[in-house]
Every structure is written in C-alpha cells, then in structure tokens.
C-alpha cells in the first residue's frame, strides 16, 4: 500500500504513567514486562513502542483485553492523551506539534470521537445534541438544523428530533452519538467500544448500520473492542494488542490463517472463522478431470482410477458444465450415449473470495460438490462438505 493511503500513523509511541519513567523505559528496553516495571518502579506502562498505520476510508479495529493499551492508543490520535515518547501523525503533520488553535481546528473538523457511554447532553433534545458541533462552529440555526436533520434521518431516527435523549433506548442514544460525531463531516471517526453497553440484538443492528454508513460516507474509522467476533465483522484491518504492545496486525483472514504466536492463536480461538475465512483457503483441486468431449470409456476409466462415483465435467475452456455419475455413465456406455446426453446440470458455482459462512447452506442443500470459478467462469477448484467441516475445527 502506498504511503499516502495512510491518514493516521503512530511511530514508536510510548505512554508511561507515574514516577521513575526513565528507569521504567530502561527496563522495558532491556526486555522487562509491564508488571515487572510496575512492581519495581511504580510506573505504569500503557503503551510501548507502538507503530500503527491507519488506511484512509477503511475501518481499523484495535482489539485487546483490559489493560492492553487499546483505549490509550485511540486517545493519542486526538491528543486526549499525550504520548510520553514517539509521535502521532495526521496527514504528515505531527499532532503533538499543533498549536492550541490548530488542535482545536483538528478536533472540530478532522477527527471526532464516539464514546461507550454515549456522552449526550440531557438538557438538549435529539436535534440539539446532533447539531451542537455546528452550533459551536457558529453556523446559523436554520442551516445547522437542516444539516443535523439529514444525519438524524441517516441513522433512522426521523420523527425523534425533539424527543428528550433520556427517553431513548440505548441503541437510539448511540445512534444520536454517531450522528453528532458525523455532522461536522470529519475525516476520521474514533470509536472506543461504542456498542459494548448494548444488548446483543441491538449491538448486531448497530454494527450493520455503522458498516452501511461507512461504505456510504467513506470515513476512516478507528474502532476499539474486546470482542473478537465484532473485530472480525467490522474491521478491514485488525490490530491485536497485549500489555501495551502491538502483537499482530492484518486482515481478519490473515490473522485467522497465520497467527503470529500462541497468544494470538489462543485469542482467536473463540472467533467464528467461517465469517472471515474465504473459500480460497478450503477449496481442493479435483483429482479427476473429465471433458465434455471425452468418450464414455475415458470418463468411466477416470472415475474408477480415482475411486470416484461422480465427477465434475468441464468444457475445453475449463468451465464447469455439470456432474457425471458412474451409474449413468455405465448405462450410457451400453446405450451409446455421449456425456452431454446424461450430464446432470445445475452445479452450483461460487467465487474464491466467498466467505465459508456463506457457502455452508449451499453445501448443505447441494448433492454435488460446489465448483469454485474465477471471474471468467474458469474452474479453480471444488468445495465439498468434508472440506467445509474440516475448516470448522
């Protein structure tokens, strides 16, 4: 990925709290862990040598257990927390070097934050909460309410503009929080465990709605969570943190297929891998190839040689045309019929980038293997019930 595709960066960022930070830094540099440092110096290591690159217009998820440093990291991006060392860069500008005026402009117009606790103003109605940022910027009332209503509609709260936020459900209040963050048209949205206080059904709906909003508005989102399934569902890229350090960063599929160590492997153990693993990783190469123009003797010979009772038949361009079964093939050979005359058509085809979770139902309902094809319909491999079952382990 080209350098200019990253809108935010962390370069060797460290955050230490408490006394004896010089000694704590020396101990960390020499390989001590944060617990050893805290016990000896009283200093808490929140972040240590963190390097992150946040791609433009994508969702970047940071996940970790309590104390991993994920929330501290996200607060460094808008300088709610100042790092002890290293730097945070927004579009090639060191955030720490911004003047008070520049920092205010950055927070008002470039980067917004959505909190777990919603952070709504109880004395204002929905419209007043959503339009607050525009009011601070000095936009006149009719214009700011027009803009705010557009975002209220986007989050599905038409008709609720003048309702007190205290009367809203948790999911509705979080929608208001998202609309308020979006109304200033920021480049980056920071979301610190925004859905963790919601019940599972509302949380699922909010995840889907945020994905829809992001795909429509093309915002860069840094999303914090402790839930691996949420991370894999939301993230284009996922970063796993532990004890203030980055352990591994990659796409959900890369993390599932190639965990860097036992910690990552154990962390991912509870994740539903079928929702991030693609068919490319489970498809197999057919052991037997039969062409539409082959004679029946050859077709029977190939199935017997490979101990198969059926086979996918392809044309000369390797497009799957259907299934041939040994019983029909033997009878057709006696009757002098061609493969095309006894072929069972209607074989299911999918792309190699299809998620395994999306194939399970197709495989369950199909009596045949599923053909995996490229954009030109050329067969790349097959998926069987057995290959799907093995991916679930």
Residues in the chain with pLDDT values less than 50:
1-3
Under CATH, domain 280-391 is a member of which superfamily? CBS-domain (3.10.580.10)
Summarize pLDDT for 310-351 with one digit per residue, the tens: 889 999 999 999 999 999 999 999 999 999 999 998 888 999
- Which pLDDT does position 118 carry in this prediction? 62
Domain positions in the chain are 55-84+99-110+186-271, 280-391
What pTM was estimated for this model as a whole?
0.75
What is the distance between the alpha carbons of residues 223 and 235, in angstroms, rounded to a whole number? 8
SS3 322: strand
- Which pLDDT does position 52 carry in this prediction? 97
Write down the mean pLDDT value for the chain.
89
Positive or negative: CA dihedral 97, 99, 102, 108: positive
What is the distance between the alpha carbons of residues 132 and 134, in angstroms, rounded to a whole number? 5
Which class is 55-84+99-110+186-271 in CATH?
Answer: alpha beta
- Which pLDDT does position 116 carry in this prediction? 66
DSSP 36-65: HHHHHH--EEEEEEEEEEEETTSEEEEE--
Six token digits for residue 330: 């033997």
SS3 112: strand
Q: What percent of the chain has pLDDT over 90?
A: 51
Cβ pair 351, 378 in contact under 8 A: no
């Amino acid at each position: 990925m080209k350098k200019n595709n990253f809108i935010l960066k962390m370069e060797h960022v460290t955050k230490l709290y408490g006394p004896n930070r010089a000694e704590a830094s020396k101990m960390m540099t020499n390989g001590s862990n944060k617990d050893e440092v805290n016990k000896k110096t009283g200093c808490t290591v929140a972040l240590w040598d963190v390097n992150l690159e946040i791609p433009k217009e994508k969702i970047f998820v940071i996940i970790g257990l309590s104390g991993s440093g994920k929330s501290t990291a996200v607060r460094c991006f808008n300088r709610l927390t100042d790092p002890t060392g290293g730097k945070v860069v927004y579009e090639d500008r060191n955030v720490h070097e911004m003047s008070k005026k520049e920092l205010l402009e950055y927070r008002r117009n470039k980067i917004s934050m959505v909190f777990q606790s919603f952070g709504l103003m109880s004395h204002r109605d929905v419209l007043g909460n959503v339009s607050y940022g525009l009011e601070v910027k000095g936009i006149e009332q009719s214009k700011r309410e027009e803009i705010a209503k557009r975002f209220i509609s986007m989050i599905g709260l038409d008709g609720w503009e003048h309702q007190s936020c205290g009367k809203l459900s948790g999911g509705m209040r979080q929608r208001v929080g998202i609309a308020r963050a979006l109304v200033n048209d920021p480049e980056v949205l920071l979301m610190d465990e925004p859905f963790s206080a919601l019940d599972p059904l509302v949380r699922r709906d909010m995840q889907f709605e945020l994905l829809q909003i992001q795909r429509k508005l093309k915002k860069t989102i840094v999303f914090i969570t402790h839930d691996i399934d949420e991370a894999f569902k939301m993230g284009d890229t996922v970063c796993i943190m532990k004890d203030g350090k980055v352990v591994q960063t990659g796409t959900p599929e890369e993390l599932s297929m190639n965990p860097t160590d036992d910690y990552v492997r154990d962390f991912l153990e509870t994740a539903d891998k079928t929702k991030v693993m693609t068919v490319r990783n489970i498809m197999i190469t057919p052991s037997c190839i039969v062409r539409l123009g082959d004679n029946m003797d050859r077709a029977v010979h190939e199935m017997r040689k490979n101990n198969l009772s059926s086979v996918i038949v392809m044309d000369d361009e390797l497009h799957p045309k259907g299934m041939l079964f040994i019983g029909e093939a033997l009878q057709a050979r006696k009757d002098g019929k061609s493969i095309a005359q006894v072929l069972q058509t209607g074989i299911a085809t999918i792309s190699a980038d299809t998620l395994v979770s999306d194939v399970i139902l197709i495989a369950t309902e199909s009596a045949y293997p599923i053909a995996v094809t490229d954009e030109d319909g050329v067969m790349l491999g097959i998926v069987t019930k057995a290959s799907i079952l093995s991916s679930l382990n």
